[in-house]
Amino acid sequence: MHIDKDLVAASATPLVLGILAEGESYGYAIVKRVNELSDGRMQWTDGMLYPLLHRLERNGYVRASWGTSDAGRRRKHYAITEAGLRTLAERQAQWSVVADALKQVWQTAAHPPVLGDAPAGGIA
């Protein structure tokens, strides 16, 4: 399934902050976690993740530090800050409102018309 890039962009910040709220992580592990959480339906790339992480760091939502992997390679680790936790809570509240509104409209329009179908009342 293709997920529209607008949805990916809108969900990127709360996803990354949520993942980092689980604990400190590094780029590849974050990409892998998004893949796991979406059952492989969201395929993030480094080119999408790192600009986001750098923006979150500039905004004070995450902090970065250098660490060493088990294999001895240096890599940058990211951790959520207090400001990031507050932002995550705000985004969760915002997404709840949007998700509730979508759920209501989709339940009301249980069978949306297919393009080309005549609207109710038979007027085309």
Model confidence over 33-92: pLDDT tens digits? 999 999 999 989 889 999 999 999 999 999 999 988 788 889 999 999 999 999 999 999
Beta strands in 1-124 (DSSP E): 25-26, 62-68, 74-80
Would the pTM count as exceeding 0.75?
Answer: yes
Q: What is the pLDDT of residue 49?
A: 96
What own/partner pairs with CB < 8 Å and gap ≥ 24 does 110-118 have? none
Contact 31, 49 (CB under 8 A): yes
Give φ, ψ of 65 to 5 degrees.
-145, 155
Identity of residue 80? I
